[in-house]
Amino acid sequence: MIARNAQPGVLLVGTFPPPIDGMSVVNMAIRDAVQDGRTRVAVVDSSAKGRHGLAYHARRLLAHLRAIILLLSPRGCGLGSLCHGVNAGLAMPYTLALVAAARVAGMRIVLYYHSSNYLRRRSALLAVTVRLAGPGSLHVLASEDMVRAFRSLYPTAARFLVVDNCAYVPEAMPARMRLREPVRIGLLSNLSMEKGLGLAIDTARELQRRGIPVRLILAGPLVGPEAQAAAEAAERELGAAVEFRGTVLGDEKTRFYADIDVFLFPSLYPHETQSIVVPEAMAAGMPVLVHDHAFIRNLLAGCEIDHLLLAADGSFPMRAADAIAGWRADPASYAADAYRCRARFDELRRRGVEQFGRLIAELAPTPRSQGFAAAAARGRIAHGHD
């Protein structure tokens, strides 16, 4: 093994913005929290344009090779901890190779999981990776349900930390009191059919069919030709009732949430965990209508708002329109659901910030990391969209 310094630095390997998604937001928050002037931080960004193709995988492979060379070279002797956003699919071998190199180098290993794909069925490659990481490695997931699923599939994992995605969302607006006219519904994501673009558009169509004035606001980049075709069809059919804002950051994102009354998230994305945007919408004080998919239910279940979880069976536009029509008929029920969503976010965020503080203390046990949770509670954790 390679000897490590008494106060080692941290090697962060994963995706960073751009593009903006849940994994890159989390990695950015970890990087910003660990960089305290006393802890050395080395970052290897494995981001690549697109999601498929030879060039995409070549860029990602080269990034992981750079990380392996760094941690095995003399330049890596000051790095004692590896924090890695675990890859999924065809990129899983990159994670396996990186973990093997980290074990050779004698590093502490923290693996952060951003996909539910390998929690629905056992991945032989991930099983080997977990075993290779060893019993001292720390496995970070977004909910207790994810931990239970992980334990059942990968029993060699011994140490876990839950960090709720609400930890990465600053406090925002007070709860809404009423729907506007026309009703303003919105979706913020990488706009693909898997992420629910088509179902969000169909919800606007269903509301119009019922004679309910509606405005649909969509934010984020269009992903893929099918999404582009759906957007063009929506513009032809809905006209001024649909608005595409593209990628929104900072003040533009704040304005997006201020401009809508109901957040839709009918995602069936296979890697979905909790998402970042659903907690953001809850923080903005509005009701959310979401597919009961992956581990999103952990945000809403068992707290008087589980009726906002809609079955992922193709009925989303009808059920979402029913909910919105009900709120129009009973404005007090809208205000109550908005309040409950904001209160649930506050509860989860308090817990998540504490959990995130423990993660930073694990990576960089310095006086600053011990007090990080208090700083994060003042809204200093970075955020984006997924």
On average, the pLDDT of the chain sits at 90
116 DSSP assignment = S
CA angle 268, 335, 317 (to 5 degrees): 30
How far apart, in whole angstroms, are the C-alpha atoms of residue 231 and residue 221?
11
Which domains, ranges and CATH numbers included, belong to the chain? 9-162 (3.40.50.2000), 183-344 (3.40.50.2000)
In this prediction, residues 288-299 reach a mean pLDDT of 94
Which residue, among 249, 221, 273, has the nearest Cα to 88 in the 3D structure? 273
The tokens for 331 are: 């404005």
- Assess whether pLDDT exceeds 60 at residue 380: no
- Assess whether pLDDT exceeds 90 at residue 385: no
Which residue, among 171, 169, 178, 218, has the nearest Cα to 197 in the 3D structure? 218
The confidence score (pLDDT) of residue 213 equals: 98
Local confidence band at 7 (pLDDT 50, 70, 90 cut-offs): low
Q: Is the peptide bond before 19 cis (omega within 30 degrees of 0)?
A: yes
* Cβ contact 281:263 at 8 Å: yes
CA atoms within 13 A on the CB side of 179: 25
225 Cβ contact list (under 8 Å, min separation 6): none
pLDDT digits (tens, 9 = 90+) for 39-84: 889 999 998 766 667 888 889 999 999 999 999 998 888 899 999 9
* Positions of E strands within 46-202: 79-85, 108-112, 138-141, 159-162, 183-188
| Burial of 239 per CB tally in 10 Å (0-12, 13-18, 19+) | exposed
Local confidence band at 377 (pLDDT 50, 70, 90 cut-offs): very low
- Assess whether pLDDT exceeds 60 at residue 383: no
Phi, psi of 16, rounded to the nearest 5 degrees:
-130, 155
Residue 61: CB atoms within 10 A of its CB come to 16
* From 74-83, 109-118, 198-207, the region with the lowest mean pLDDT: 74-83
The confidence score (pLDDT) of residue 357 equals: 94
pLDDT digits (tens, 9 = 90+) for 128-157: 999 999 999 999 999 999 999 999 999 999
* Cβ contact 279:26 at 8 Å: no
Residue 255: CB atoms within 10 A of its CB come to 12
Q: Which amino acid is at 249?
A: L
The tokens for 360 are: 């930073």
Q: Is the pTM of this model over 0.85?
A: yes
